[in-house]
Copies of this chain bind each other. A is one copy, B any other.
């Protein structure tokens, strides 16, 4: 099966350079502030990257975290690089709110309630502006 993260993402692109792409994951209605930072090369683990590539990838994880904090004022940021299903390096950067569907559990745990999160009008535009400023 071809790797789905080697193909261009179907999600709105927030930033792209020669090494990585940042997208807004728009397939999770419970989590409108869910970004993914995808490394372009098909690499499995962070310790398979060179130190400078690793620093570049994490620099963009921090930039995305900062953008989400500024734009959405979440109660917590969740960061994860799992890749058990798709072993191609990518980071989940997720704005979490005390009233969201799983809080305080991870979003992969059992759903706890119908979630409520703040309005996210124009979020693609706002995050793009923040990340390319």
Contacts and interface: CB of A to CB of B under 8 A. Distances in A.
Interface string A100-120: 000111101110000000000
B110 A82 contact: no
Interface stretch (A13-21, A83-91, A125-133): A83-91
A79 interface: yes
Q: Which 8 A-B pairs have the closest CB atoms?
A: A84-B104, A106-B108, A80-B80, A79-B81, A108-B109, A85-B104, A78-B82, A108-B108
Contacts of A65: 45-47
Given A65-B47, A105-B108, A106-B108, A80 B79 contact: yes
Interface of A: 44-47, 54-55, 58, 61-62, 65-66, 69, 75-85, 87, 96, 103-106, 108-110
18 contacts: A45-B76, A46-B79, A47-B62, A47-B65, A58-B58, A76-B83, A78-B83, A79-B80, A80-B81, A80-B82, A84-B104, A84-B105, A84-B106, A106-B108, A108-B108, A108-B109, A109-B109, A110-B110
Nearest to A70: B47
A104 B78 CA distance: 19
